Structure 1
Amino acid sequence: MNSLKLQMSVQWNTKWRWHTGLSADSVEWCPIETYRNVLVCGTYQLDNSQDQDQEAKKQSRLGKIYLFVVNQNVGDLSPVQTLDTAGVLDQKWCYHTIQSNPVLAVATSVGCVELYRLENNGGLSLNLWTKEEIGKDILALSLDWSTNKMLNDPPKLVVSDSSGSVTILTVTENGMKKTNTWKSHNFESWIAAFNYWNTEVFYSGGDDCVFKCYDVRVPDAAVSTNRSHEAGVTAVRSNMDCEHQLLTGSYDEKVRLWDARNLRKCTEETDVGGGVWRLKWHPYRPDTVLAACMYGGFRILRVDAQHIDVTCEYLEHESIAYGADWAHIENSLVATCSFYDCKMHISDVVL
């Protein structure tokens, strides 16, 4: 591994383990202040309960969303709610309430985006508010909110899908509406994400190894295209604390740091020892990143303007490392999940 520099002072201590039943691929902590101990885990699995003619029928995908309330005095983990859905490919909480409620957006295997309100009616529960179909016979693969740094009114979502397209949805008083769709990639559009400092700008990455930048005011095409990734582009994440800092991850096992003002060439790249699926900046440490590295487990990275260093690795999962997120609290609490072994872990990370 090219740049693996483990700092032994970083400690990753597992506190809870939980079996998710179906294959787990998404974990997200609620960022709303009153609800920062709320965690969701999403699952996705092909339905093999009945024989299907694959040429005649779409293969059915099952999913569940598990809602947890995690307190330090919790003994064994147990969800406070379980929702049956289509397969869950991605989930993101809005960083601001909408109509006074925390809102969770979910990308599903039937090409829909679903919005759930977190409500407290004698106990916390997620309740479906609205949903919007992105397209027929496709999977919605990833999504991102425009509101992570600033409260946009109305909030917007960018959604990527298995046809290679990206779509902007505007959240209205009564639901969602499509603003525009771009045909972005020749194969799956694995990831789409906003520039949180300028939400007119968003990005996409595809299985065609292409990384693109768009401006919603240019409705017909990307404003820049980069082909430097050596495999599919699977992760894009803007830094909410450092303007112009942007990370991408790829199946080529590299994390790349970009200056968003010049996307012709990355400023730094590092091999992290596994295909990168998700990247999450620490909510209180602008130089610290959590990475889900698929067949390489999970990593913590330290990032500055010129370097990306791997400072810790977590190898206690036994399958593909897909979901990862920091809790939005001062102490570094991390949720991770893995696919075929159906496991979710919650850990303390001492940085």
Structure 2
Amino acid sequence: MQAVSLSTVDTLYSADAIEFCPTSSRLFACGTYQIEKDESADEGAPAAEPVVTRYGRCLLYEIGEDGRNLREAQRFDGPAILDMKWSPRPWRGQTTLAIADAKGHVQLHGMDEETNKLSPRQIIDCADEKTLCLSLDWSTRRPTADPASIVVSLSDGSICTLGGESELSVTESWHAHDFEPWIAAFDCWDPNTVWTGGDDLKLKGWDLRQGCDQPTFVNKRSFEGGVTTIQSHPLLENIFAVGSYDANVRLFDRRKPQVPLTEFDAGGGIWRVKWHATNAERLLVAGMHDGFKVVDFDGLSQGSVENGGKLHTRFDEHTSLAYGVDWSGGKGDEGRDVIASCSFYDHTVHVWAA
């Protein structure tokens, strides 16, 4: 099925991240990333590398119940945004948006449930301002008695974790990949386990209880491009999905992480994958050069994926890199799932249904 746009907006800056608020199927945040180069130099002076400034904007949008009537609710500027995630459960009594930015920070912004507006709560320095925070993930996607923590991947090849009771701070940091680690994610069934993937074509596992001096596994055989996205399955305990620049989505069993259970060529190089909240066999895929897709893995909930994945819906109205995407949790016409997506160079958000 080919999906059509229900509503759209120009974000002005290049858009790369979309995340729906866990307390509202009508409210989502969009992160943007813009580069400005200052190539001015004194006449006669030796040529120098241009000064690059990465700046961005967080945009909060609200949509109608059917996915139409998209409107901007809030905006605030800051360093370029590379990733963002809402706290699945309230953090310190408030739903909180964590932002990974281009100056080595994780920003925390709390949501006021009465006004539906964000306000700054904390900025955590994960690295120096020349290092980019590339991705982040909360440890609390499933109910747990443990306090919330965040894992962050950094452009210098390192991974760090953030924890603490009243405020978050860096609790551990280690070198994980020789090239950019595009993604770090918790096993949502076991917050002691972290998975990372990088431009070195490697998928790695880490046990936070062991100090992370050595990974628990390294898979360097399954991928023909950098590992870009990982998400633990919220309904099936041992399953996690991995996306790569090689355009394939691979499903793994955490008990046998060296060999994928199945793979699906989604096209275009994968940037993000998102599992459906209630349909255990449905995955949302951002395919960079080949648009957005909803893929079904029939039989996955019964432990059988012999037939691999199949395309359920695609959305091709973006004209640039398909980066950010998320399920709203709400329904549109004919009971279809409402989805928001964004693309980079054409700085566009679309809302559609699958």
TM-score (norm 2): 0.90
Where in structure 2 are the equivalents of 1:126-137 lying within 5 Å? 126-136=118-128, 137=130
Q: Which runs of 5+ in 1 are unaligned?
A: 1-7
Match of 2:200 among 192, 205, 208: 208
- 1:232-251 map, 5 Å: 232-251=226-245
Native 8 Å contact 1:30 1:328 kept in 2: no
**In 1, Cα distance between equivalents of 2:342 and 2:328:** 14
* AA of the residue aligned to 1:83: F
Instruction: Please name the residue that 1:5 is paired with.
Output: none
Is residue 173 of structure 2 the alignment partner of residue 181 of structure 1? yes
Conserved 8 A contact 1:146-1:152: no
Deviation at 1:218, TM superposition (A): 1.4
Q: CA RMSD in A?
A: 1.8
Q: Distance in 2 between matches of 1:340 and 1:278?
A: 17
- What does the per-residue CA deviation read over 1:132-165, in whole Å, with 9 as the maximum and x for residues that have no partner? 1111111000000000012343201010111111
Deviations along 1:249-274, one digit per CA (max 9) or x if unpaired, are 00001111100111111111121111
> CA distance change for structure 1 residues 102 and 235 in 2, over 3 Å: closer, same or farther?
same
State the match for 1:17 in structure 2.
8
- Identify if the C-alpha distance between structure 1 residues 46 and 209 changes in structure 2 by more than 3 Å, giving closer, same or farther: same
Paired with 2:246 and 2:67, the residues of 1 have a C-alpha distance of: 39
Aligned match of 1:38 in 27, 52, 57?
27
Q: State, as a whole percentage, how many aligned pairs show the same letter.
A: 34
Q: Distance in 1 between matches of 2:169 and 2:345?
A: 35
Q: CA deviation at 1:73?
A: 7.1
State the Cα deviation string for residues 49-70 of structure 1 (Å, max 9, x = none).
x436795675211100011122
> Cα 1:282–1:170, aligned 2, differ >3 Å: closer, same or farther?
same
* SS of alignment partner, residue 59 of structure 1: strand
Query: Would you say the 8 A contact 2:7–2:67 is kept in 1?
Result: no
Query: Alpha carbons of 1:153 and 1:240: their partners in 2 closer, same or farther (altered >3 Å)?
Result: same
Q: Secondary structure at the match of 1:80?
A: strand
Aligned length: 335
* 2:325 is aligned with 1:334: no
Are 1:86 and 2:79 an aligned pair? Answer: yes
1:52–1:309 CA distance, 2 compared to 1 (3 A): farther
Segments of 5+ residues of structure 2 without an aligned counterpart are: 42-46
**Residues 226 and 74 (structure 1), Cα distance of their counterparts in 2 relative to 1, 3 Å cut:** closer
- TM-score, length basis structure 1: 0.91
Rate the CA distance shift 1:107–1:58 in 2: closer, same or farther, 3 A: farther
Aligned to 2:44: none
The within-5 A match list for 1:249-288 is 249-288=243-282
Aligned mates of 1:90, 1:231 — CA distance in 2: 20
Q: C-alpha separation between the residues in 1 aligned to 2:82 and 2:120?
A: 17
